[in-house]
Structure 1
Amino acid sequence: MLAKEIREKSNEELLKDVDLLKEELFNLRFQQATGQLENSARMKDIKKTIARIKTIMGERTRVAE
């Protein structure tokens, strides 16, 4: 998910996205621990997307203050 796409969403939508991404990351970690993970690069992508969302949400709160 690009920063442009993230900025177009509301905070509520972003919080839902973060929850879904964290759940997916948990499942990928579980697959990695059991040796079933096929695409390890997806974990890195999810972590970066979560960081982007949190950064943009932080920017919004700083602007609002």
Structure 2
Amino acid sequence: MKAKEIREMGADEIRRKIDDSTQEMFNLRFQHATGQLENTARLNKTKKEVARLKTILKEVEQ
């Protein structure tokens, strides 16, 4: 998800997306630990997406 798309969302929607992405990251880490995750790059992409969402949420709240 691009930063421009995130900025068009409302603060509540961004928070919901953060929760969803955090849950997905937890599941991906669990799959990675058990050896079931084939695409490990997805874990890093999700981590960066959460960071991007949190950064833009702080910008919106100011």
TM-score, normalising length: structure 1: 0.89
In structure 2, distance between residues paired with 1:14 and 1:57: 7
Identity %: 53
Gaps of 5+ in 1: none
Q: How does 1:9-48 map to 2 (within 5 A)?
A: 9-48=9-48
In structure 1, distance between residues paired with 2:7 and 2:52: 10
Gaps of 5+ in 2: none
Query: How many residues matched?
Result: 62
Q: Determine if the alignment matches structure 1 residue 8 to structure 2 residue 3.
A: no
State the partner residue of 1:59: 59
Structure 1 stretches of 4+ with a deviation exceeding 2 A read none
